[in-house]
Amino acid sequence: MPSNQQFRIICGLFCLCILTSLQLYAHTINYALQDAPVHEVAWFYFKLGFTHIVPQGIDHVLFITGICLINTKLKSIIYQASAFTIAHTVALALSMKNIIVAPSPIIEPIIAMSIVFVAIENILLSELKPWRIVLVFLFGLIHGMGFASSLNEIGLPPDKFFTSIVMFNVGVEGCQVMIIALIFSLLINPNKNKTWYRRRIVFPISIGIALISSYWTVERIIG
């Protein structure tokens, strides 16, 4: 698929998320932690961010796995992970401040579709293209709104808003770094010079990710 078509598709999906936000909601207040010490609040939201990826966020784990497989260069993983991190950090903060808000029934299917997209690109491409970074950034904005939707179910203490947001994001990032380190050290680095690397590792894993995420897409649309 040509890159200009990719941009139109992803930008269209992102605009759909924004345009379907018919009203803004104040974030939920977590009264249980309203008067808690700062260190307790920080630890609570750090754990919440970490467990939002493992074990609760298998879809995010598959997305992270997908961005690691485009090729065997560590810098390509770092570029994509950095774009994803910046984007979902920005979207999470803006969503919790009600600057951008999109309903979960719209966000969740698009998150699943983004995983399918990345998996298919891993099969079609053998090296990182400049547009891939932009696409991962746009996907990160969408994933960030998904994080905000989940975080809003728990709520935030009103006088520790930024502490809560920062520590939640630190927990998410800590888990993502752990996953990337494991994938690179156990799967990519030992096998990257093998002639069969793409055939035996990239293709089967990417196909599996695409199939699982396609199922999630349909399930989330009809469910």
The angle formed by the CA atoms of residues 118, 221 and 169, to the nearest 5 degrees, is 55
Residue 145 lies in a domain: yes
- Of 121, 65, 116, nearest to 220 (Cα)? 116
> Model-level pTM?
0.84
In which band, very low, low, confident or very high, does the pLDDT at 34 lie, cut at 50, 70 and 90?
confident
pLDDT recorded at residue 210: 97
* Residue pLDDT, tens place only, 99-115: 777 788 889 999 999 99
Residue 6 lies in a domain: no
Structural domain that includes position 72: 36-222
Residues 6 or more apart whose Cβ sits within 8 Å of residue 77: 67, 68, 180, 184
Residue 20: pLDDT over 70:
no
pLDDT recorded at residue 152: 79
Percent of the chain residues topping a pLDDT of 70: 87
Residue 217 lies in a domain: yes
Question: Is 145 within 8 Å of 107 (Cβ atoms)?
Answer: yes
Number of domains composing the chain: 1
Q: What is the mean predicted confidence (pLDDT) over 148-176? A: 87
* Residue pLDDT, tens place only, 125-138: 888 888 889 999 99
Tell me what the pLDDT averaged over the chain comes to: 85
Question: Is 29 within 8 Å of 157 (Cβ atoms)?
Answer: yes
DSSP, collapsed to helix, strand or coil, labels residue 58 as helix
Q: What is the mean predicted confidence (pLDDT) over 156-172? A: 88
* CA dist., res. 41 & res. 80, Å (int): 30
Tokens representing 186? 């156990």
Question: Is 75 within 8 Å of 180 (Cβ atoms)?
Answer: no
Residue 12 lies in a domain: no
pLDDT recorded at residue 121: 93
Residue 28 lies in a domain: no
Residue 181 lies in a domain: yes
pLDDT recorded at residue 147: 87
* CA dist., res. 168 & res. 50, Å (int): 8
Examine residue 55 and say whether the peptide bond preceding it is cis (omega within 30 degrees of 0). Answer: yes
Strand partners of residue 29: 156
* Residue pLDDT, tens place only, 49-95: 999 999 999 999 999 999 999 888 888 899 999 999 999 989 988 88
Residues 6 or more apart whose Cβ sits within 8 Å of residue 117: 10, 135, 139
Residue 138 lies in a domain: yes
Residue 19 lies in a domain: no
